[in-house]
Amino acid sequence: MNKLLLVLLISCPVAIAGTTDLVINHIQQHALLTGCEITLDTQSTIAHTQGLKSLLVIGPNVHTATQKRRVQINTPLERMQAHFQDKVDFIYINIVDDAVEVSALVASCYEHVKHKGFLFGRGTKNGDQLAQFAHEQGAAFVQHDDLWVIRKPHFLSFIIPTYNRASTIGKAIDSIYRQTDLQIPFEVICTDDCSTDRTLDILKRYQQKYENFHYYLHKQNGGASAARNTCVAHAQGDIIFNLDSDNMLAPNSVQKLVDYMDETGCHMACFQEIRYFTDTNAHHHSYFHRVKNNRFDLKDMIQLSRSPLSSGNYLFTRRCYDQTGGYHGRVRETWTFGWKQLVLGYEVAILPDTCYLHKVSMDSKWSQMEKEGRNDPIVLETLQAYPEVFTEGSNNMLVTYDVRKRKIHQDMVNDSFKLIDDELIEHIFAAYRFEADGCYEEALDAYFAAHKLGCTNSKIKRKISELQAKLITL
């Protein structure tokens, strides 16, 4: 279930109870918040939501449910300017006063809404004015009687980590700007990880050529994880596509991927085919990701020889990135990042009949680590760090596993490692997500539910104790 940051703007003292059902029904009717649940307590004018990270209700003498205090405002617009530091997912504006300057109010609120977030309201007769504003912003607009909604479009950040790729990075960047059918605003952010060739000179030229191209320079080489994290730190997008600097996108392929991610509700989406190429062969060979219903999950990760996340070149939400804590390590960092996404309970949507172009590089970090036998230990350490999701027999095997004598990916293909029961693991996934969002009470409830269903792993018991102690201090 998605978590929303919800704001109700009340332009004059009115009862929320009279509008609640209409608002919620309208949202559900237009399927605008797929996977989200919003409920309002119509008896007490206290707004409640399920799974919200934080909640603010703005209006004269309206009680805020999570902050446990009342807020008094002069005008919604002044309150908006004074209060918000972070953007929110959803703002409801109840405009019942014709004297309210609708244009200024809506424009101000729109600035505080996250990409793919909503402005929702009723009571205004300025539908044409709102529709024009939405059109100018590239946003969707729906109106039914006096109810209206504006949905802010995605903003896509392409990130490119690079190190000594002067011979290839230009082609990678050009493949982004060949996405001529992109219907959403985007930016390209590149981090040069202290290259010693002409990579930086090339990046400077692209920054002069495109207003939405930006680059950053590491003074010391920090590895691909650090370069990607630097890119994301400067990214504005609610969705992110990582493109490595020696790979290329197929023309007009990314918008289809964005649409597919929206359609499926997944937090990650990838192309089905990896089309490998070399300097002398434009189509060396291909690999196709084929899984049931084109959904790749944690169970697939430990049973299949190839993960669509291992290459690192795919689309994911900023929310998903934030919950994982970003990329870590210098070895198998894309595999471990993908594992952390899947262990939150998220799935990868694999878009059929699509591809991206991946260069076969014998000097790649993965190739070097594979020759040195350093890839498997990283995979083993990652699996060992999550004993709570594996059966007792699998944990016993992981504890004594010797990567010098066995190939861990071969054992994964042979179904040597098994996850716990689906119902049980869903509670653990939920606990991870709640804890990553700072929703500690909800996380504790989910850990307790897993424990009651039979998860006796010591890590879960430790998590319960830690959260109980944390909640006492809050």
- Amino acid identity of residue 366, one-letter, is W
Name the CA radius of gyration of the chain, rounded: 24
Determine the average pLDDT of the residues in 195-214. 98
Q: The domain 156-371 belongs to what CATH superfamily?
A: Spore Coat Polysaccharide Biosynthesis Protein SpsA; Chain A (3.90.550.10)
Closest CA to 270 of 304, 222, 299, 306: 306
Q: Which residue has the higher pLDDT, 26 or 242?
A: 242
Average pLDDT over residues 437-465: 92
pLDDT above 70 covers what percent of the chain?
76
Helix (H, G, I), strand (E, B) or coil at 140: strand
pLDDT surpasses 90 at 28: no
Residues 279-338 pLDDT 10s: 989 999 999 999 999 999 999 999 987 899 999 999 999 999 999 999 999 888 999 999
Considering only residues 299 and 53, tell me which one the structure prediction assigns the higher pLDDT.
Answer: 299
Q: Tens digits of per-residue pLDDT, 68-99?
A: 233 333 334 444 444 455 576 677 776 655 55
Amino acid occupying residue 426: E
Is the pLDDT at 278 greater than 50? The verdict is yes
> Of 224, 227, 12, 188, nearest to 98 (Cα)?
12
Q: Lowest mean pLDDT: which of 53-57, 370-374, 468-472? A: 53-57
Helix, strand and coil content of the chain, in percent to the nearest 5, comes to 40, 25, 40
pLDDT given for residue 95 in this prediction: 60
Residue-wise pLDDT for 162-198, tens only, equals 999 999 999 999 999 999 999 999 999 999 999 999 9
Average pLDDT over residues 110-139: 82
Contacts of 236 (CB under 8 A, 6+ apart): 155, 157, 187
Domain 6-151: which CATH class? alpha beta
The mean predicted confidence, pLDDT, of the chain is: 81
Q: Is the pLDDT of residue 15 over 50?
A: no
Predicted local confidence at residue 94, as pLDDT:
63
Give burial (CB, 10 Å; 0-12/13-18/19+) of 285.
exposed
User: Residue 6's beta-bridge partner residues?
Assistant: 55, 90
Most confident region among 7-21, 145-159, 337-351 by mean pLDDT: 337-351
Cα separation, 333 vs 244, in Å, equals 13
Q: Where in the chain is CATH 3.90.550.10?
A: 156-371
Lowest mean pLDDT among 51-65, 264-278, 359-373: 51-65
Which residue would you say has higher pLDDT here, 106 or 159?
159
pLDDT at position 366: 60
Find out whether 248 and 357 touch, Cβ atoms under 8 Å: yes
Specify the 3-state DSSP secondary structure of 428: helix
Strand partners, 145: none
- CA atoms of 65 and 54, how far apart (whole Å): 9
CA atoms 357, 349, 390, 434: torsion sign: positive
At residue 456 the predicted structure's pLDDT band, cuts being 50, 70 and 90, is confident
DSSP 441: H
Three-class secondary structure of residue 197 per DSSP: coil
The band of 362, judged by pLDDT with boundaries at 50, 70 and 90, is low
Residue among 267, 304, 298, 265 nearest 425 (CA):
298
**What is the mean pLDDT of the segment spanning 449-468?**
93
Question: Phi, psi (5° rounding) for residue 189?
Answer: -125, 125
Residue 439 has pLDDT above 60, yes or no: yes
Q: Give Cα 265 distance to the centre of its chain.
A: 11
Residue 26 has pLDDT above 90, yes or no: no
Higher-pLDDT residue of 35 and 313 is: 313
Q: Which structure tokens are listed for 344?
A: 């939150």
Altogether, the residues listed in the chain come to a count of: 474
Burial of 282 (0-12, 13-18, 19+ CB in 10 A): exposed
HSE-CB of 431 using CA atoms within 13 angstroms? 22
Burial class of residue 413 (count of CB atoms within 10 Å of its CB; 0-12, 13-18, 19+): middle
SS (H, E, C) 43-68: CCCEEEECCCCCEEEECCCEEECCCC
* 81, 93 Cβ separation under 8 angstroms: no
Residue 97 CB contacts under 8 Å (≥ 6 apart), including other chains: 11, 12
Provide the pLDDT for residue 16.
Answer: 33
Type and span of the H or E element at 213: strand 213-217
Which residue spans of the chain are classified as CATH 3.40.50?
6-151
Write out pLDDT tens, residues 398-409.
999 998 888 888
CA distances to 31, 236, 267, 333, 341 from 351, in Å = 22, 25, 13, 24, 18
Task: Tell me the helices (H) and strands (E) count for the chain, helix number first.
Answer: 18, 20
pLDDT above 90: percentage of residues in the chain: 57
Statement: residue 2 has pLDDT above 80: no
The one-letter code for the residue type at 332 is: R
| The two three-digit tokens of residue 394, written as one number | 């699998």
Residue 25: the pLDDT is: 52
- Contact status, residue 314 vs residue 308, Cβ threshold 8 Å: yes
Dihedral-angle region of residue 47 (phi above 0 means left; psi in -120 to 50 means alpha; beta otherwise): beta
Phi, psi of 268 (to 5 degrees): -140, 145
Query: What does DSSP say about strands 248-249 and 348-359: parallel, antiparallel, or unpaired?
Result: antiparallel
pLDDT of residue 371: 63
Q: How confident is the model at residue 20 (pLDDT cuts 50, 70, 90)?
A: very low
The residue whose two tokens read 């949202």 is: 27
pLDDT for residue 10 is more than 50 = no
pLDDT interval class at 4 (50, 70, 90): very low
pLDDT at residue number 61: 30
